[in-house]
Amino acid sequence: MRAIRRADTKPELALRSALHRAGYRFRKDHRLDLDAGARVRPDIAFTARRVAVFVDGCFWHACPEHGRNPAVNEWYWAPKLRRTVERDRAADAALAAAGWRVVRIWEHVPLADAVAAVTAALGGEE
């Protein structure tokens, strides 16, 4: 478990690189202390535009398309993955309540589509 990255995953690095090349500037892995006392760490945060971007791994965040239930130690993994999904929903709700737009991108989404989703959330320009 120690080798599992929380930040700087390959899909996240590719998206950040593409956004930076397109001229967007952002904060990475920036902790947001919200009004309700919630703390959220989006992978990419556009603080001036109040847009939070998360790049979710298919296994860890239970992708409906590619996620799978582990066959070994299901007693451990099933609740762990369920808590991750619940934490994601709570973070989305807290950000929305604070006036942020949330963009969640699965790791399997093509890079061009991911950049388009972020650009659309930003209003097309920065």
Distance CA 118, CA 52 (A): 9
Question: In this structure, what token pair is assigned to residue 8?
Answer: 């700087």
pTM: 0.90
The total of structural domains in the chain comes to: 1
Classify residue 29: in a domain, yes or no: yes
| Assigned domain for 52 exists | no
Transcribe 23-65 into DSSP letters.
Answer: T---EES--EE-TTS-EE--SEEETTTTEEEEEE-TTTTT-TT
| Whether the Cβ atoms of residue 84 and residue 91 lie closer than 8 Å to each other | no
Instruction: Provide the pLDDT for residue 70.
Output: 83
Q: Is residue 3 part of a domain?
A: no
* pLDDT at residue 3, as a whole number: 61
Q: Is residue 24 part of a domain?
A: yes
pLDDT tens for the chain, 126 residues long, are 666 667 788 999 999 999 999 999 999 999 999 987 889 999 999 999 999 999 999 988 989 888 778 888 889 989 999 999 999 999 999 999 999 999 999 999 999 999 999 999 998 654
Amino acid letter, residue 88: D
Where residue 102 sits, what CATH number does that domain have? 3.40.960.10
Domain membership of residue 112 as a residue range: 10-46+59-122
Confirm whether 89 is domain-assigned: yes
What's the rounded Cα separation, in Å, for the pair 38 and 86? 14
Within a domain: 2: no
Q: CA 16, CA 8: separation in Å to the nearest integer?
A: 9
Instruction: Give the pLDDT score at 37.
Output: 83
Residues 6+ apart with CB under 8 A from 31: 39, 40, 41
Q: Is residue 21 part of a domain?
A: yes
The answer to whether 104 touches 92, Cβ cutoff 8 Å, is yes
Residue that the structure tokens 């993955």 belong to: 81
